[in-house]
Amino acid sequence: MKKIGILLFAMCLFVSCEDFLTPDVLTTKTADNYPATEKEAEEMLTGVYSQMLFQDPEVSSQFYIAQLAGDECLGGNTIGSNNCATNFLMYTNLNLHIGYNEGENWVPGMWNRDYKLIYRANVALQAFENFKGWSSETKKNTYLGEVYFLRAYAYNELAQTFGGVPVRLGTDMENLPRASVDAVYEQIASDLKNAIELLPNNAYLGDDPMAGHATKYAAEAMMARVFLFYTGRYAKTGLPGGINKQQVITWIDDCVNNSGHDLISDQRNLWAYSNNATNDNTAGYRYQYAVNNGLHWDGLNSAETVFANKHKLKGNSWTYTWYSNTVAQFFSPPNTDGAETPKNSYPFGQGWGAGPVSPAFVDEWKAWSAQTPKTAGVTEDPRLSGSIWSYDALDPNNAGSKLLIDRKLNADEPNYTVNKIYVEQTGYSQKKYININSYYNGQFTAFGLQLYPNDPPGVISQSLNNIADLVLIRFADVLLMQSELKEDAIGLNRVRARSHLAPVAYSLDAVKNERRYELAFEAIRWFDLLRWSGPSLEEAGNALNRQNGFTVINQASVVPMIQYDYKARLKATQGYWPVPLSEIDLSNGVLEQNPGWGAEAFFTSWNNVH
């Protein structure tokens, strides 16, 4: 008789943690008697969902890898940081293990987190099939469908990141070798097909209490994403197991036509910087860009959100940091001592300095924006300034009075005094996922505290109070995948029209450009580069090697960007990341390391990269 307390030891998204983490749940529930009620089945489902969240994106998140490895961002942070290493497709000691201890808390790495989700999913699938107390067949199928979706999502993260990985479908902890890439994708496709067939025709929009749950339409969109990636990356015509392009088109059409998801009127209203609380104070603090462009946040769970990680204020603590959007914390620029950063850079808060935007990417966007046809008298793609905080970079050694770099794209943006010890500060920061402040009760604080005053957090800290959804599948992405699959311009031009860009004829290049700029800074570009390159990796390597020819600010000094051969590193690794060495050791050598991840790939310092 197997104890399943470990399965249930999880942060709760949809039920009370106080109810969930009780001694009875953790010590007396077994595979023979759990779940005994639908409420307990919900607790079990919550335990699976909990592994979608992560405490430290640097070790736990595919988002982190994808955002820093692509050609939109540099690494940032300190001169020997794992951020810089990831951007250079190298590794540090953080990558050697399946996680680390922080005080009394275990911080799992991505491999560990995904396999924990998979184990919990496997237990749940068995338990839900055995449970006899369902109120309806629809309820049972919904829970099963959600679990199949989540397991597919985890396996897709693993396969995209590491290639072939062990495929675990049961609860026995066997020492399994890595399966082939085809075998992993066959399982992903099977799980997604099960989810599509089991889940009801529901989408949970707006204030629906089910918001955050996987839906049939999320599974259909995910199937399209998996199909496009697998067939492009590995030069195939269909998914293993027999799923073909026409089936995927049927599903993506259903998502577009019947889900109820839609584009909101202005893409910029998806992002938290457009919230009303930031501009609602008597002290005069405003985000002029939002004010002057008439922006108003569409809020959590907009009609455009197909699937997202949900975050909240209540329950946050230094033990449960993943309640908050830790991606926003990680990708916010660092504070600068003595610079009054919260005031002078209002509304942007501070964080750990990952992912400063590449000036080469901005220049390419500006050039494309200048030549792409527009409507309604628009002269520039509004998503450029809507996605990037561009600023006058001020010298911290001169009380913020000396200008180091002027890269401001819009006069409405605040300036920023750079950090004295950080590197690769560029004058550009993405602002889709960034800490956003308001001025509330006489202090600068996370905007959610003002927006939701009746939902107080356990700890008040900018690091813990970012409530913005981390959107994992967006309807604009769905429309662009539909166009790519069907080779027509309908979805493509629907996305363009929202940003006042004129319609264009279908071409793969048109789709590539639209995806690049519509979905910038959403951790999609890296995988698009890999799939469009195919096995040769030529296109991806050439794109990465354009990250040069500009200056950056390292430790408050302007220096040239390193002339680095990203393409050579990409081909050495074949676009895969290192399997944690501790996992290889635990397998007694059954697991094998990916190519290109020997001692030559160990990162020590920005100054030592050639």
Q: What is the pTM of this model?
A: 0.93
H or E segment at 394?
strand 392-394
Per cent of the chain over pLDDT 70 is 92
At 30, is the pLDDT very low, low, confident or very high (cuts 50, 70, 90)? low
DSSP code, position 474: E
At 314, is the pLDDT very low, low, confident or very high (cuts 50, 70, 90)? confident
pLDDT tens figures, 113-134: 999 999 999 999 999 999 999 9
Q: What is the pLDDT of residue 103?
A: 60
- Between 176-190, 215-229, 336-350, the lowest mean confidence (pLDDT) is in 336-350
Q: What is the pLDDT of residue 29?
A: 66
Tokens 């907009």 -> residue: 302
* CA pair distance 327, 323, nearest whole angstrom: 11
CA-derived radius of gyration, the chain: 23
19-38 as b/e: b if 16+ CB within 10 A: ebbeeebbeebeeeebbeeb
The residue ranges of DSSP E strands in 19-177, in sequence order, are 99-102, 105-108
Nearest in space to 204 (alpha carbons), one of 260, 256, 153, 252: 260
pLDDT exceeds cutoff 90 at 545: yes
In angstroms, what CA-CA distances link 171 with 25, 174, 421, 599?
19, 9, 47, 35
481-516 as b/e: b if 16+ CB within 10 A: bbbbbeeebebbbbbbebbbbeebebeeebbebbbb
At 181, is the pLDDT very low, low, confident or very high (cuts 50, 70, 90)? very high
Phi, psi of 13 (to 5 degrees): -100, -35
At 306, is the pLDDT very low, low, confident or very high (cuts 50, 70, 90)? very high
H or E segment at 19?
helix 17-20
In angstroms, what CA-CA distances link 125 with 61, 137, 589?
25, 15, 30
Residue pair 229/160 in contact (Cβ under 8 Å)? The answer is yes
Full set of structural domains in the chain with CATH: 5-58+91-223 (1.25.40.390), 267-302+311-468 (no CATH)
pLDDT tens figures, 258-291: 999 999 999 999 999 999 999 999 999 999 999 9
Q: What is the pLDDT of residue 9?
A: 32
Residue pair 7/44 in contact (Cβ under 8 Å)? The answer is yes
DSSP code, position 607: G
Long-range contacts of 290-295 (CB under 8 A, 24+ apart): 291/412, 292/412, 293/268, 293/382, 295/266, 295/268, 295/269
- Mean pLDDT (whole number) for 21-44: 70
Residue 294, number of CB atoms within 10 A of its CB? 10
235-270 as b/e: b if 16+ CB within 10 A: eeebbbeebebebbbebbeebbeebebebbebbbbb
* CA pair distance 55, 307, nearest whole angstrom: 19
Q: What is the pLDDT of residue 224?
A: 98
Residues 6+ apart with CB under 8 A from 20: 8, 10, 12, 43, 46
At 339, is the pLDDT very low, low, confident or very high (cuts 50, 70, 90)? low
Within a 13 Å sphere around the CA of 573, how many CA atoms are in the beta-carbon half? 26
Beta bridge partners of residue 355, listed in sequence order:
none
pLDDT tens figures, 349-402: 999 999 999 999 999 999 999 999 999 889 999 999 999 999 999 999 887 678
* CA pair distance 242, 47, nearest whole angstrom: 32
- Mean pLDDT (whole number) for 243-253: 98
- What is the four-CA torsion angle of 189, 136, 46, 454, rounded to 10 degrees? 130
Q: What is the pLDDT of residue 377?
A: 87
Residue 11 CA from chain centroid, whole number: 19
pLDDT tens figures, 479-501: 999 999 999 999 999 999 999 99
- Mean pLDDT (whole number) for 576-604: 93
